[in-house]
Amino acid sequence: MIESLVEVLRCPESGKDLTLAHVGDWFELNGQRHVVDGILQAVGEPDKRYPILDEIPHLVPRWWVKDEEQAYLDAHLDDHRLDWNEERRVEPEIVTDEDLEADIRNRMERQYQLTDASPPLTRQRCEGEIRYMLSEARGTNKLKYVKALAPYVERVDSVLETGGNFPGLTRNLQERYRPSLAVVANIQILFPKAFKTPNRQIAAVRADVQALPFKSGSFELVASGFMLEHVPDWKAGLRCMMDVGEKVFLAFGPNKWFPFEVGHINAPLAGTLPKPIAAYVAWFWLAAVGRRRPMHRIRAILAEVFHVGSRAFRREAERLGGMTRNLFPEIIDIIVRDANAPPTGPRKVLKRFPRLAGFSARLLTTLGMEPQIYYLIDSGAAAGHPPPSSELRISR
Ligand SMILES: C[S@@+](CC[C@H](N)C(=O)[O-])C[C@H]1O[C@@H](n2cnc3c(N)ncnc32)[C@H](O)[C@@H]1O
């Protein structure tokens, strides 16, 4: 963690400023100190302590804390002060893009338990997942967001991405805007290696979007791709993002009111109907199209997705004082005109009939039924929104 990041951090539970209470290993890069392991503590609250492990500050509320985080904190209790890890200068670990790609491949092959004897379908699924992760890591599947933002966001000096697995979207935003501060916050940092680039331009923070550990108005732009539908209290997530960011770009979905759920269950009305009924409809649909899934699996997937309607989302953002702009028609226009986008699935039809695509996108948006939700919100955070109370922010 670059040491200067402390300036924008606050306690995810009490909202108090954080200070660096202890530094173990650290290194210097481009004249800046980076902490490899250490402890952050809320000012005046010695019981609110959060570890920095493998360069990542773990700033999740207590009930999210994992065993290794607790073990580090326990080992650094005040009454053990004499046995604390001593401050020590080390060399930074550098991970190149090639190393990261090899890491992604290894992990996926392990997850799918791939061997020479694996059936072709398993191999195909694993390769599909690797391709997706690589495009995320390289940011190639997020370029359209940067294009959609270009007319409305001229320059920004600080960027936060919430729910990014890799710094892919942030990498694109960084290439476009060259911000001096770029952070990715996620409830799980699955690929810490992705942040160990030679220049450490993007910082990773383990954080829950429902209780973001950043001071109000810390970022000029907050951006997020396909995270909000996984957040149980999306209103708390939206409130936190609008509190820490002046502008907030959110892509998520599918829209609760689009009649076909794409991306999680892939069945009609799965996001619209009450979940117990949606599970049966999905089971029959998947059986009918030859993609049968066991009922417990369908229920488990549905339990992890929280579908939100486009209009309800806009109403909430405006209630919080934001000015909203629905970017769905613009995103469709960008997809249709993108010569490099592979013409697969619905894209094939959209590209063939660009006018029809534009008309349908505008019609669906007017009806509040666009399949995916893309909004840019001017949150007014710079104008000094009062920070939400900590009770409201923490929803789990
Ligand atoms: C479907 S993935 C999307 C990944 C990537 N942003 C993309 O567009 O492909 C959802 C991500 O949201 C993260 N996430 C889920 N709940 C979260 C929360 N409460 N706070 C922060 N991140 C969360 C998950 O860890 C996961 O990385």
Instruction: Tell me if 230 CB under 6 Å of ligand 1.
Output: yes
Which of the given ranges, 110-119, 225-234, 376-385, has the highest pLDDT on average? 225-234
CA-CA distance, 23 to 266, in Å (whole number)?
A: 48
Dihedral over Cα of 209, 211, 212, 217: its sign: positive
Of 160, 101, 174, nearest to 133 by C-alpha is: 101
Instruction: Tell me if 388 CB under 6 Å of ligand 1.
Output: no
Kindly give the distance from the C-alpha atom of residue 79 to the centroid of ligand 1, in angstroms, as a whole number: 37
- How does pLDDT run across 381-391, given as a tens digit for each residue? 544 444 444 44
Owner of token pair 């973001």: 212
- All structural domains of the chain with their residue ranges: 3-89, 94-138, 139-256+307-393, 265-303
Residue % of the chain over a pLDDT of 70: 95
What pLDDT, on a 0 to 100 scale, did the predictor assign at position 394?
37
Give the confidence band of 132 by pLDDT, cuts at 50, 70, 90: confident
Give the confidence band of 210 by pLDDT, cuts at 50, 70, 90: very high
Kindly give the distance from the C-alpha atom of residue 165 to the centroid of ligand 1, in angstroms, as a whole number: 7
Of 30, 167, 26, nearest to 92 by C-alpha is: 26
Kindly give the distance from the C-alpha atom of residue 81 to the centroid of ligand 1, in angstroms, as a whole number: 37
Under CATH, which number does the domain 139-256+307-393 receive? 3.40.50.150
What pLDDT, on a 0 to 100 scale, did the predictor assign at position 232?
93
Q: Which two tokens stand for residue 162?
A: 């919430």
Kindly give the distance from the C-alpha atom of residue 152 to the centroid of ligand 1, in angstroms, as a whole number: 25
Instruction: Tell me if 186 CB under 6 Å of ligand 1.
Output: yes
Instruction: Tell me if 357 CB under 6 Å of ligand 1.
Output: no
- pLDDT top residue among 77 and 156: 156
What pLDDT, on a 0 to 100 scale, did the predictor assign at position 83?
79
Instruction: Tell me if 181 CB under 6 Å of ligand 1.
Output: no
What pLDDT, on a 0 to 100 scale, did the predictor assign at position 387?
46
Instruction: Tell me if 225 CB under 6 Å of ligand 1.
Output: yes
Q: How many CB atoms lie within 10 A of CB 363?
A: 12
76: Cβ contacts below 8 Å, ≥ 6 apart? 22, 39, 49, 51, 84, 85
- How does pLDDT run across 168-197, given as a tens digit for each residue? 899 999 999 999 999 999 999 988 999 999
- How does pLDDT run across 29-59, given as a tens digit for each residue? 999 999 999 999 999 999 899 999 999 999 9
Kindly give the distance from the C-alpha atom of residue 164 to the centroid of ligand 1, in angstroms, as a whole number: 6
- How does pLDDT run across 220-234, given as a tens digit for each residue? 999 999 999 999 999
Q: What is the mean pLDDT of residues 294-314?
A: 96
Kindly give the distance from the C-alpha atom of residue 160 to the centroid of ligand 1, in angstroms, as a whole number: 13
Dihedral over Cα of 381, 236, 263, 226: its sign: positive
Cβ atoms of 51 and 58 closer than 8 Å: yes
String of DSSP letters for 256-296: TTSSEE-SSS-EETTTTS-HHHHHHHHHHHHHHTT----HH
Instruction: Tell me if 163 CB under 6 Å of ligand 1.
Output: yes
According to DSSP, the residues that pair with 373 across neighbouring strands are 252
CA-CA distance, 198 to 168, in Å (whole number)?
A: 16
- How does pLDDT run across 139-156, given as a tens digit for each residue? 778 899 999 999 999 999
